[in-house]
Amino acid sequence: MTTKKTQMKTPSLVDVFVGRQLRENRDKRGLTLEAAGKSLGVSPQQVHKYEHAHSRVPFTAVFNLLDLYGAALGSFIDNVQKACASKEPCSCRRHVTLLIVEDNPDDVKLVCEALHSFDESINIVTTSSTRQMLSILRGEAPHISDVRPDIVLLDLCIPQKRTRPRQGEGINALRAVKQDRYISTIPVIILTNSKRGDLVRRAYDNGAWGYIYKSMEFDSFKISLIGCVKYWTEIVVRPSSVYKPHSYKAVS
């Protein structure tokens, strides 16, 4: 029996930018992959392929999606033309927003440096409070961020006011995200200095999507962190979240 090797064609810049623009417009409206697919009569997986340039988007699909998103066709085409003309390396990725929950300024600086070495366009929001973290995720803190984070990087040892850092605060935050149907599909990745088996187990039991050790070697840490971000933002299809009607302003 002979096997035939097939090679995936590299998507054109136009396909990449069209997909990115469609994803950004869907995010602004707070619509799920399921809602977009239903309007076209295709599966959520097919919409995901359109947005990541794995499949070329038919013009009728572009037209119908823009109508669903309330976006103007003329502006959409202008944005794609400008993006193709600039040919900026980072323009091939959609803009990603990360929320860092960390009370150590040095660690925040380290994480930001690692992320921006991968993509300078990444939007980073920081807080040292798990309570504020939940408000940001629920769209209740527009003065901090009016964009819904794609990923949360959470340090388990977050101190309460006038108390020492304790791992229970991070675990409680994990549990709160897991139990809230409006935000439970946002990946929460643990960043910690501990490799204790019981702590790893508690983190996953309470809803962690990943667990990264803050290695003393910056290069090793950077590779792990970037790999994790790419996995959750570019590779997998995640279950889409249900949005509260008042969460995150709709952009016309």
The model's pTM: 0.61
The residue whose two tokens read 């602004």 is 28
SS3 percent helix, strand, coil of the chain, rounded to 5, is 50, 10, 40
Q: What is the pLDDT of residue 3?
A: 37
For residues 70 and 111, state if they share a domain: no
Count of structural domains, the chain: 2
- Of 104, 78, 98, residue with least CA distance to 18: 78
Residues 49 and 136 in one domain: no
Q: Is residue 243 domain-resident?
A: no
Q: Residues 78, 100: one domain?
A: no
Share of the chain above pLDDT 90, in %: 15
Residue at 55 is within a domain: yes
Whether 61 is covered by a domain: the verdict is yes
CATH assignment at residue 25: 1.10.260.40
Same domain as 127, residue 87: no
Shared domain check, 195 and 104: yes
Give me the CATH number covering residue 168: 3.40.50.2300
Q: Are residues 76 and 107 in the same domain?
A: no
35 with 68, same domain?
A: yes
Residues 74 and 135 in one domain: no
Does the residue 210 lie in any domain?
Answer: yes
Length of the chain: 252
In a domain, 250, yes or no: no
- Residues 60, 146, single domain; the answer is no
Q: Is the CB of residue 123 less than 8 Å from the CB of residue 147?
A: yes
Specify whether 116 is located in the same domain as 136: yes
Is 242 contained in some domain?
no
In a domain, 114, yes or no: yes
What is the pLDDT confidence band of residue 7, given thresholds at 50, 70 and 90?
A: very low
Single out the residue in 38, 65, 91 at which a domain terminates: 91
pLDDT digits (tens, 9 = 90+) for 159-210: 655 444 455 688 999 999 999 988 888 999 998 888 888 889 999 999 999 9
> Do 69 and 110 fall within a single domain?
no
When pLDDT is cut at 50, 70 and 90, the band that residue 100 belongs to is very high
pLDDT digits (tens, 9 = 90+) for 125-169: 999 889 999 998 888 877 777 677 889 999 987 765 544 445 568
Residue with tokens 């202008």: 78
Given 43, 63, 91, the domain boundary residue is 91
Structural domain includes residue 8? no
Are 126 and 213 in the same domain?
A: yes
Last residue of a domain, one of 45, 62, 91: 91
Instruction: Catalogue the long-range contacts made by 118-124 (C-beta closer than 8 Å, 24 or more residues apart).
Output: 118/222, 118/226, 118/229, 118/230, 119/90, 119/93, 120/90, 121/90, 121/93, 121/95, 121/96, 122/95, 122/96, 122/97, 122/98, 122/229, 123/95, 123/96, 123/97, 123/98, 123/147, 124/97, 124/98, 124/100
Query: Structural domain of residue 42, as residue ranges?
Result: 13-91
Question: Among the listed ranges 7-16, 81-90, 214-223, 240-249, which one has the minimum average pLDDT value?
Answer: 240-249
> What is the model's pLDDT at position 211?
92
pLDDT at 9: 53
